[in-house]
Amino acid sequence: MLKRAIVIRPRSILLIFFTAGLPLSWAFSQSPRTIDRHGVSWNRYYLTWSFRPNWTFHQEVDYRFLIKTGAWHQLALHTHVHYRPHTNAEFALGATRMENGDPVPSKTPYPHRVEWRAFQELHFWTPLVKPFTLHHRYRIEQRFLSGTKAPFVWRGRYRVQFNWTLPAPKWTVHVANEAFLNWGRGVPTVFDQNRTYVGLSCAFSTHLRVEVGYMMQWQQAGRPDLLYQRDIGRVSVFHQL
């Protein structure tokens, strides 16, 4: 078992964030254009329950609406179980029920659709010099979508998040980038979306933490040359039993 902390220099951190953003750079190299830019509010409740040593149950409820019209945008329900065999590594299995509404502000109601997903995750924490940490999350999803040529299509997600605990230890700054890539029969494009995030969290106790932040999302809009650009305000409540 590794006991020595791995020290990563600032140049290495920049390289990791650059690598995570490569799919976005690739998409921009195809000369896409933004067909709509709008604001969205994401509001999340995240419950964690440690039911056995090294085992935790996670339940996320994420309600999202369009800021301009107040129209319902998405409801995401993520249920997953995590196993941590090492201090700096964790595995997870889970499922998602994603209900999608209006993708952009519009006077015409958009028909809702439900998508089911299964997913597998690997979490890895890279120890840095205190008070900094680096968190990697690798997720593979099987998306059960109608109209595709296979039972499901694949989507890979890689998120890297840099955390900075401030001198007042209950406050933490978060900076993250996440890239999404599709593959499989029937997928319209390889690039799916990219998210860049900055946030600030406050731990009120060992059981309750609240985080607020801003996310810029670029999402493929059905064709390789079209993108939605979203300014997202996010509020998350983390509750640990």
Q: What is the pLDDT of residues 145-188, one digit of tens each?
A: 876 777 899 999 999 999 999 988 799 999 999 999 999 887 87
Identify the pLDDT of residue 214: 98
pTM: 0.85
- Interatomic CA distance for residues 235 and 209, integer angstroms: 11
Identify the pLDDT of residue 186: 75
- Interatomic CA distance for residues 241 and 231, integer angstroms: 32
Angle between helices 10-20 and 22-29 (to 10 degrees): 50
> Could you tell me the fold of the domain covering 10-240?
Porin (2.40.160)
Which helix (H) or strand (E) segment holds residue 151: the answer is none
- Show me where the domains of the chain are located: 10-240
DSSP output for 74-125: EEEEEEEEEEEEETTEEEEEEEEEEEE--SS--SSPPPPEEEEEEEEEEEEE
Beta-ladder partners of 181? 156, 191
User: 11 Cβ partners below 8 Å, 6+ apart?
Assistant: none
Q: What is the pLDDT of residues 121-138, one digit of tens each?
A: 999 999 899 899 999 999
Identify the pLDDT of residue 4: 43
Could you tell me the pLDDT band of residue 33, with boundaries at 50, 70 and 90? confident
Could you tell me the pLDDT band of residue 15, with boundaries at 50, 70 and 90? low
